[in-house]
Amino acid sequence: MILPFGEYRPDVSDYEGQTSKNILNVVPQGDGYGPFKALVAYTSAAVGACRGFGYARKNDGSVVAFYATSTKLYLLDNTAFTWTDVSKGSGTYSAVGSTANWQFAQFNQYFFATQVNAPLQVFDLT
């Protein structure tokens, strides 16, 4: 069953209008709107609650992704789509506070990861 509704025009008054002001849970198509496809897992499951995420772009254009839990730092393997523990010395950091998170930054080929209870980690992306 197809339910017709007007063109999406949030900037037009809906008083006796032939347009729709609010359209939810659809994606635009050439002949109107269609449903979202089902979500699919892209990587393996995270080991713990994410307390920070960052990514860097290498000189060849590829992307490197990192995520952190309260006590560990992980790197995404772009081939197997699994997370590898890259914590300094494969150790565990002192846990961040309940309101603190990891911070990430890139400068040229270097990627920096830090949190309040651990020394700065630097990854050479080459």
pLDDT at 2 over 70: no
Which one of 10-14, 17-21, 31-35, 44-48 scores highest in mean pLDDT? 44-48
Calculate mean pLDDT across residues 81-92. 84
Do 110 and 59 belong together in one domain? yes
pLDDT at 60 over 70: yes
Do 56 and 34 belong together in one domain? no
Do 77 and 109 belong together in one domain? yes
Q: How high is the pLDDT of residue 42?
A: 85
Distance CA 17, CA 40 (A): 38
Distance CA 85, CA 15 (A): 57
Q: How far is CA 62 from CA 36, 56, 98, 125, in A?
A: 28, 8, 33, 10
Domain that holds residue 88: 52-124
Residues facing 114 on adjacent strands: 103
Which one of 9-13, 25-29, 67-71, 97-101 scores highest in mean pLDDT? 67-71
The number of distinct structural domains making up the chain is 2
Do 34 and 56 belong together in one domain? no
**Inside any domain, residue 43:** no
Calculate mean pLDDT across residues 32-54. 86
Three-state DSSP class for residue 48: coil
